Structure 1
Amino acid sequence: MKIGLILLSICFLMLISCGTDNAKEDKAEAETTNQKTVITAKAIENFNYTDYVLSSGAEKAVANWEKYQELAIQINYLKKADLSFFNGDKDLLRTFIEEFKLALPTNFKTNPIISRMAIIETSLYRLNENLTLDNIDDNLKLESVKEVLIAFSNLNYQINKKLERDKYNKIKAEY
Protein backbone atom coordinates (compact mmCIF):
# COMPACT_ATOMS: atom_id res chain seq x y z
CA MET A 1 0.00 0.00 0.00
CA LYS A 2 2.82 2.44 0.84
CA ILE A 3 4.59 1.68 -2.43
CA GLY A 4 1.42 2.44 -4.43
CA LEU A 5 0.97 5.71 -2.56
CA ILE A 6 4.61 6.67 -3.19
CA LEU A 7 4.35 5.82 -6.93
CA LEU A 8 1.12 7.80 -7.19
CA SER A 9 2.78 10.78 -5.48
CA ILE A 10 5.79 10.60 -7.81
CA CYS A 11 3.54 10.47 -10.91
CA PHE A 12 1.54 13.41 -9.59
CA LEU A 13 4.71 15.45 -8.99
CA MET A 14 6.01 14.66 -12.47
CA LEU A 15 2.75 15.82 -14.05
CA ILE A 16 2.78 19.06 -12.07
CA SER A 17 6.41 19.82 -12.88
CA CYS A 18 5.95 19.17 -16.61
CA GLY A 19 3.01 21.55 -16.77
CA THR A 20 4.95 24.30 -15.00
CA ASP A 21 7.87 24.22 -17.49
CA ASN A 22 5.54 24.61 -20.46
CA ALA A 23 3.72 27.48 -18.83
CA LYS A 24 7.01 29.25 -18.11
CA GLU A 25 8.17 28.80 -21.72
CA ASP A 26 4.86 30.08 -23.09
CA LYS A 27 4.98 33.06 -20.76
CA ALA A 28 8.59 33.86 -21.79
CA GLU A 29 7.63 33.59 -25.48
CA ALA A 30 4.68 35.91 -24.99
CA GLU A 31 6.87 38.48 -23.23
CA THR A 32 9.46 38.54 -26.01
CA THR A 33 6.71 38.82 -28.63
CA ASN A 34 5.15 41.75 -26.77
CA GLN A 35 8.51 43.50 -26.40
CA LYS A 36 9.37 43.18 -30.11
CA THR A 37 7.52 45.72 -32.18
CA VAL A 38 8.09 44.99 -35.82
CA ILE A 39 8.67 47.97 -38.08
CA THR A 40 5.89 47.50 -40.61
CA ALA A 41 3.96 49.74 -42.94
CA LYS A 42 0.96 49.31 -40.63
CA ALA A 43 2.93 50.55 -37.61
CA ILE A 44 4.22 53.54 -39.59
CA GLU A 45 0.74 54.24 -40.90
CA ASN A 46 -0.56 54.46 -37.34
CA PHE A 47 1.74 57.37 -36.45
CA ASN A 48 -0.14 60.42 -35.26
CA TYR A 49 1.37 63.47 -36.97
CA THR A 50 0.37 66.11 -39.47
CA ASP A 51 1.70 65.15 -42.88
CA TYR A 52 2.08 68.29 -44.98
CA VAL A 53 2.36 67.89 -48.73
CA LEU A 54 3.58 70.44 -51.19
CA SER A 55 1.10 72.73 -52.89
CA SER A 56 0.92 72.68 -56.66
CA GLY A 57 3.01 75.85 -56.86
CA ALA A 58 5.59 74.39 -54.50
CA GLU A 59 5.77 71.19 -56.54
CA LYS A 60 6.63 73.27 -59.58
CA ALA A 61 9.22 75.22 -57.57
CA VAL A 62 11.03 72.09 -56.36
CA ALA A 63 10.69 70.18 -59.64
CA ASN A 64 14.32 70.94 -60.57
CA TRP A 65 15.68 70.21 -57.08
CA GLU A 66 16.74 66.62 -57.78
CA LYS A 67 17.91 65.77 -54.27
CA TYR A 68 14.58 66.88 -52.82
CA GLN A 69 12.79 64.64 -55.32
CA GLU A 70 15.06 61.74 -54.38
CA LEU A 71 14.42 62.33 -50.66
CA ALA A 72 10.66 62.48 -51.30
CA ILE A 73 10.84 59.12 -53.06
CA GLN A 74 12.84 57.62 -50.18
CA ILE A 75 10.35 59.03 -47.66
CA ASN A 76 7.53 57.33 -49.59
CA TYR A 77 9.49 54.07 -49.41
CA LEU A 78 9.99 54.66 -45.70
CA LYS A 79 6.22 54.98 -45.25
CA LYS A 80 5.97 51.50 -46.79
CA ALA A 81 8.57 50.22 -44.27
CA ASP A 82 11.36 49.95 -46.85
CA LEU A 83 14.36 50.96 -44.73
CA SER A 84 17.09 50.05 -47.22
CA PHE A 85 18.15 53.64 -47.95
CA PHE A 86 18.19 54.64 -44.30
CA ASN A 87 20.02 51.65 -42.83
CA GLY A 88 22.69 51.55 -45.50
CA ASP A 89 26.24 52.86 -45.44
CA LYS A 90 26.66 56.02 -43.39
CA ASP A 91 29.08 57.52 -45.94
CA LEU A 92 26.46 57.27 -48.69
CA LEU A 93 23.92 58.94 -46.43
CA ARG A 94 26.43 61.66 -45.54
CA THR A 95 27.15 62.27 -49.23
CA PHE A 96 23.45 62.45 -50.02
CA ILE A 97 22.80 64.95 -47.22
CA GLU A 98 25.70 67.17 -48.29
CA GLU A 99 24.48 67.18 -51.90
CA PHE A 100 20.94 67.83 -50.67
CA LYS A 101 22.08 70.90 -48.76
CA LEU A 102 24.31 72.19 -51.57
CA ALA A 103 21.57 71.82 -54.19
CA LEU A 104 19.14 74.02 -52.24
CA PRO A 105 17.66 76.54 -54.70
CA THR A 106 18.55 80.14 -53.92
CA ASN A 107 14.93 81.21 -53.52
CA PHE A 108 14.60 78.72 -50.64
CA LYS A 109 17.68 79.88 -48.74
CA THR A 110 15.80 81.27 -45.77
CA ASN A 111 16.43 80.59 -42.10
CA PRO A 112 13.25 78.51 -41.52
CA ILE A 113 13.97 76.22 -44.48
CA ILE A 114 17.67 75.88 -43.64
CA SER A 115 16.80 75.01 -40.04
CA ARG A 116 14.30 72.36 -41.22
CA MET A 117 17.00 70.91 -43.42
CA ALA A 118 19.31 70.71 -40.40
CA ILE A 119 16.58 68.89 -38.48
CA ILE A 120 16.15 66.45 -41.38
CA GLU A 121 19.91 65.89 -41.41
CA THR A 122 19.95 65.14 -37.69
CA SER A 123 16.95 62.85 -37.82
CA LEU A 124 18.37 60.95 -40.82
CA TYR A 125 21.66 60.36 -39.01
CA ARG A 126 19.80 59.27 -35.88
CA LEU A 127 17.59 56.88 -37.86
CA ASN A 128 20.65 55.43 -39.57
CA GLU A 129 22.38 54.86 -36.23
CA ASN A 130 19.29 53.32 -34.64
CA LEU A 131 18.71 50.98 -37.57
CA THR A 132 22.30 49.82 -37.90
CA LEU A 133 22.93 49.14 -34.20
CA ASP A 134 21.70 45.78 -32.93
CA ASN A 135 21.06 46.72 -29.32
CA ILE A 136 18.48 49.43 -30.07
CA ASP A 137 14.89 48.72 -29.09
CA ASP A 138 12.36 48.52 -31.93
CA ASN A 139 10.21 51.18 -30.26
CA LEU A 140 13.13 53.61 -30.47
CA LYS A 141 13.59 52.68 -34.12
CA LEU A 142 9.93 53.41 -34.77
CA GLU A 143 10.29 56.73 -32.95
CA SER A 144 13.24 57.61 -35.19
CA VAL A 145 11.19 56.77 -38.29
CA LYS A 146 8.45 59.06 -37.02
CA GLU A 147 10.97 61.87 -36.42
CA VAL A 148 12.17 61.65 -40.03
CA LEU A 149 8.61 61.76 -41.33
CA ILE A 150 7.78 64.75 -39.14
CA ALA A 151 10.96 66.57 -40.16
CA PHE A 152 10.22 66.07 -43.86
CA SER A 153 6.62 67.15 -43.36
CA ASN A 154 7.78 70.32 -41.59
CA LEU A 155 10.17 71.07 -44.47
CA ASN A 156 7.22 70.82 -46.87
CA TYR A 157 5.24 73.15 -44.62
CA GLN A 158 8.04 75.74 -44.61
CA ILE A 159 8.41 75.57 -48.40
CA ASN A 160 4.66 76.11 -48.81
CA LYS A 161 4.75 78.95 -46.29
CA LYS A 162 7.70 80.63 -48.03
CA LEU A 163 6.05 80.54 -51.45
CA GLU A 164 2.76 81.79 -50.03
CA ARG A 165 4.54 84.66 -48.27
CA ASP A 166 6.35 85.56 -51.50
CA LYS A 167 3.06 85.52 -53.37
CA TYR A 168 1.42 87.92 -50.90
CA ASN A 169 4.44 90.23 -50.83
CA LYS A 170 4.05 90.75 -54.58
CA ILE A 171 0.51 92.03 -54.12
CA LYS A 172 0.57 95.81 -53.92
CA ALA A 173 -1.90 97.92 -52.06
CA GLU A 174 -4.40 99.73 -54.24
CA TYR A 175 -4.28 102.97 -52.30
Structure 2
Amino acid sequence: MKSLLIICFGLLLTISCNEKSKQQDIEADEVQESKSGEITAADIESLKILEFGLSIDGQKSVEDWGAFQTMILEIENLKSGDLNFFKQESEIIRTQIGEMNSSIPDNIKSKPIQARLLALNTKLLLMNNLLRLQNISKSEKLESIREFLVAYSNLLLQINKKLELDSNINVQKTQS
Protein backbone atom coordinates (compact mmCIF):
# COMPACT_ATOMS: atom_id res chain seq x y z
CA MET A 1 0.00 0.00 0.00
CA LYS A 2 2.82 2.35 0.88
CA SER A 3 4.59 1.63 -2.40
CA LEU A 4 1.34 2.24 -4.31
CA LEU A 5 1.00 5.63 -2.64
CA ILE A 6 4.59 6.54 -3.55
CA ILE A 7 4.04 5.47 -7.17
CA CYS A 8 0.84 7.55 -7.42
CA PHE A 9 2.59 10.54 -5.88
CA GLY A 10 5.48 10.13 -8.35
CA LEU A 11 3.09 9.96 -11.32
CA LEU A 12 1.21 13.04 -10.09
CA LEU A 13 4.47 14.95 -9.72
CA THR A 14 5.64 13.90 -13.20
CA ILE A 15 2.35 14.88 -14.83
CA SER A 16 2.22 18.30 -13.14
CA CYS A 17 5.83 19.08 -14.11
CA ASN A 18 5.12 18.02 -17.69
CA GLU A 19 2.04 20.33 -17.77
CA LYS A 20 4.19 23.30 -16.63
CA SER A 21 6.69 22.51 -19.37
CA LYS A 22 3.93 22.41 -22.00
CA GLN A 23 2.48 25.68 -20.67
CA GLN A 24 5.89 27.37 -20.94
CA ASP A 25 6.30 26.07 -24.50
CA ILE A 26 2.89 27.44 -25.47
CA GLU A 27 3.68 30.84 -23.94
CA ALA A 28 7.04 30.95 -25.74
CA ASP A 29 5.31 30.13 -29.04
CA GLU A 30 2.76 32.91 -28.47
CA VAL A 31 5.52 35.45 -27.76
CA GLN A 32 7.40 34.37 -30.89
CA GLU A 33 4.23 34.55 -32.98
CA SER A 34 3.41 38.05 -31.73
CA LYS A 35 6.92 39.23 -32.57
CA SER A 36 6.70 37.76 -36.05
CA GLY A 37 3.26 39.39 -36.42
CA GLU A 38 4.73 42.87 -36.12
CA ILE A 39 4.72 44.87 -39.33
CA THR A 40 8.09 46.20 -40.41
CA ALA A 41 9.30 48.65 -43.02
CA ALA A 42 10.43 45.68 -45.13
CA ASP A 43 6.90 44.26 -45.05
CA ILE A 44 5.42 47.54 -46.23
CA GLU A 45 8.13 48.01 -48.83
CA SER A 46 7.35 44.57 -50.26
CA LEU A 47 3.74 45.58 -51.03
CA LYS A 48 3.10 45.97 -54.73
CA ILE A 49 1.85 49.55 -55.15
CA LEU A 50 2.05 51.90 -58.09
CA GLU A 51 2.92 55.13 -56.33
CA PHE A 52 2.37 58.59 -57.73
CA GLY A 53 4.02 61.67 -56.32
CA LEU A 54 2.87 65.24 -56.41
CA SER A 55 4.05 67.41 -59.28
CA ILE A 56 5.82 70.67 -58.50
CA ASP A 57 2.51 72.52 -58.96
CA GLY A 58 0.84 69.98 -56.70
CA GLN A 59 3.44 70.47 -54.00
CA LYS A 60 2.92 74.24 -54.17
CA SER A 61 -0.86 73.78 -53.98
CA VAL A 62 -0.78 71.67 -50.82
CA GLU A 63 2.10 73.34 -48.98
CA ASP A 64 -0.32 75.49 -46.92
CA TRP A 65 -2.76 72.61 -46.34
CA GLY A 66 -1.54 71.82 -42.82
CA ALA A 67 -3.70 68.77 -42.15
CA PHE A 68 -2.62 67.18 -45.44
CA GLN A 69 1.04 67.94 -44.69
CA THR A 70 0.60 66.11 -41.38
CA MET A 71 -0.91 63.16 -43.24
CA ILE A 72 2.01 63.11 -45.70
CA LEU A 73 4.44 63.02 -42.78
CA GLU A 74 2.53 60.20 -41.09
CA ILE A 75 2.40 58.21 -44.34
CA GLU A 76 6.18 58.53 -44.66
CA ASN A 77 6.45 57.25 -41.06
CA LEU A 78 4.10 54.40 -41.99
CA LYS A 79 6.35 53.42 -44.89
CA SER A 80 9.29 53.28 -42.48
CA GLY A 81 7.37 50.87 -40.24
CA ASP A 82 6.11 53.35 -37.62
CA LEU A 83 2.40 52.58 -37.19
CA ASN A 84 1.84 54.57 -34.00
CA PHE A 85 -0.27 57.35 -35.55
CA PHE A 86 -2.48 54.84 -37.35
CA LYS A 87 -3.01 52.72 -34.20
CA GLN A 88 -4.42 55.64 -32.20
CA GLU A 89 -7.99 55.92 -31.02
CA SER A 90 -10.51 56.42 -33.82
CA GLU A 91 -11.51 59.86 -32.50
CA ILE A 92 -8.00 61.23 -33.08
CA ILE A 93 -8.03 59.85 -36.63
CA ARG A 94 -11.52 61.28 -37.22
CA THR A 95 -10.32 64.71 -36.02
CA GLN A 96 -7.44 64.57 -38.51
CA ILE A 97 -9.86 63.59 -41.28
CA GLY A 98 -12.21 66.43 -40.36
CA GLU A 99 -9.38 68.96 -40.45
CA MET A 100 -8.24 67.66 -43.81
CA ASN A 101 -11.74 67.81 -45.31
CA SER A 102 -12.53 71.28 -44.00
CA SER A 103 -9.32 72.91 -45.15
CA ILE A 104 -8.98 71.76 -48.78
CA PRO A 105 -7.30 74.59 -50.74
CA ASP A 106 -9.67 76.35 -53.14
CA ASN A 107 -7.42 75.81 -56.17
CA ILE A 108 -7.72 72.01 -55.90
CA LYS A 109 -11.19 71.73 -54.39
CA SER A 110 -13.29 69.72 -56.82
CA LYS A 111 -15.69 66.79 -56.77
CA PRO A 112 -13.12 64.23 -58.03
CA ILE A 113 -10.58 65.27 -55.39
CA GLN A 114 -13.23 65.20 -52.67
CA ALA A 115 -14.22 61.71 -53.84
CA ARG A 116 -10.59 60.52 -53.65
CA LEU A 117 -10.27 62.13 -50.24
CA LEU A 118 -13.39 60.29 -49.09
CA ALA A 119 -11.90 57.01 -50.36
CA LEU A 120 -8.65 57.78 -48.52
CA ASN A 121 -10.57 58.53 -45.32
CA THR A 122 -12.55 55.30 -45.60
CA LYS A 123 -9.39 53.22 -46.08
CA LEU A 124 -7.73 55.12 -43.22
CA LEU A 125 -10.53 54.30 -40.80
CA LEU A 126 -10.59 50.65 -41.91
CA MET A 127 -6.82 50.37 -41.51
CA ASN A 128 -7.02 52.06 -38.10
CA ASN A 129 -9.61 49.54 -36.91
CA LEU A 130 -7.63 46.55 -38.18
CA LEU A 131 -4.29 47.73 -36.78
CA ARG A 132 -5.78 48.22 -33.33
CA LEU A 133 -7.18 44.68 -33.13
CA GLN A 134 -4.92 41.94 -31.83
CA ASN A 135 -6.68 38.99 -33.45
CA ILE A 136 -6.22 40.18 -37.05
CA SER A 137 -3.56 38.40 -39.07
CA LYS A 138 -0.50 40.18 -40.32
CA SER A 139 -1.50 39.56 -43.94
CA GLU A 140 -4.90 41.23 -43.40
CA LYS A 141 -3.23 44.23 -41.77
CA LEU A 142 -0.76 44.50 -44.63
CA GLU A 143 -3.60 44.34 -47.15
CA SER A 144 -5.36 47.22 -45.40
CA ILE A 145 -2.11 49.21 -45.44
CA ARG A 146 -1.74 48.48 -49.16
CA GLU A 147 -5.31 49.64 -49.86
CA PHE A 148 -4.71 52.84 -47.87
CA LEU A 149 -1.47 53.59 -49.73
CA VAL A 150 -3.22 52.96 -53.08
CA ALA A 151 -5.99 55.40 -52.08
CA TYR A 152 -3.33 57.96 -51.11
CA SER A 153 -1.54 57.50 -54.42
CA ASN A 154 -4.83 57.90 -56.30
CA LEU A 155 -5.50 61.16 -54.44
CA LEU A 156 -2.08 62.49 -55.46
CA LEU A 157 -2.74 61.47 -59.06
CA GLN A 158 -6.11 63.25 -59.00
CA ILE A 159 -4.52 66.44 -57.62
CA ASN A 160 -1.94 66.33 -60.42
CA LYS A 161 -4.66 65.78 -63.05
CA LYS A 162 -6.73 68.69 -61.69
CA LEU A 163 -3.80 71.07 -61.77
CA GLU A 164 -2.73 69.91 -65.24
CA LEU A 165 -6.26 70.40 -66.57
CA ASP A 166 -6.45 73.87 -65.01
CA SER A 167 -3.11 74.86 -66.54
CA ASN A 168 -4.24 73.60 -69.98
CA ILE A 169 -7.44 75.66 -69.71
CA ASN A 170 -5.41 78.73 -68.73
CA VAL A 171 -3.06 78.24 -71.69
CA GLN A 172 -6.01 77.97 -74.08
CA LYS A 173 -7.56 81.16 -72.66
CA THR A 174 -4.35 83.11 -73.17
CA GLN A 175 -4.02 81.87 -76.75
CA SER A 176 -7.56 82.95 -77.64
Shorter-chain TM-score bucket reads 0.7 to 0.9
- Whether the aligned pair in 1 keeps the contact of 2:40 and 2:81 (CA below 8 Å) is yes
1:16-35 equivalence runs, <5 A:
none
- Whether the aligned pair in 1 keeps the contact of 2:61 and 2:108 (CA below 8 Å) is no
Match of 1:120 in 2: 120
Distance in 2 separating the partners of 1:172 and 1:104:
26
In the alignment, structure 1 residue 39 sits paired with structure 2 residue 39: yes
With 147-156 and 37-46 compared, the bigger mean Cα shift is at: 37-46
Match of 1:129 in 2: 129
Match of 1:54 in 2: 54
Distance in 1 separating the partners of 2:56 and 2:152:
17
Name the amino acid aligned to 2:131. Answer: L
Match of 2:90 in 1: 90
User: Structure 1 length normalisation: TM-score?
Assistant: 0.78
RMSD: 2.8
- Whether the aligned pair in 1 keeps the contact of 2:77 and 2:83 (CA below 8 Å) is yes
Shift of 1:37: 4.7
Q: Which runs of 5+ in 2 are unaligned?
A: 1-24
Match of 2:151 in 1: 151
Q: Which runs of 5+ in 1 are unaligned?
A: 1-24
Distance in 2 separating the partners of 1:172 and 1:124:
38
Runs of 4+ in 1 over 3 A off after TM superposition: none
Q: For each residue in 1:30-88, what CA deviation from the matched residue of structure 2 results, as whole angstroms up to 9, or x when unmatched?
A: xx86xx55411001111111110001111011111011110000000000110000001
Match of 2:105 in 1: 105
Distance in 2 separating the partners of 1:110 and 1:118:
12
Distance in 1 separating the partners of 2:135 and 2:170:
54
Distance in 2 separating the partners of 1:51 and 1:95:
26
Match of 1:78 in 2: 78
Match of 1:21 in 2: none
User: Structure 2 length normalisation: TM-score?
Assistant: 0.77
> Secondary structure of the residue that 1:78 maps to in structure 2?
helix
Aligned residues: 151
- Whether the aligned pair in 1 keeps the contact of 2:61 and 2:107 (CA below 8 Å) is no
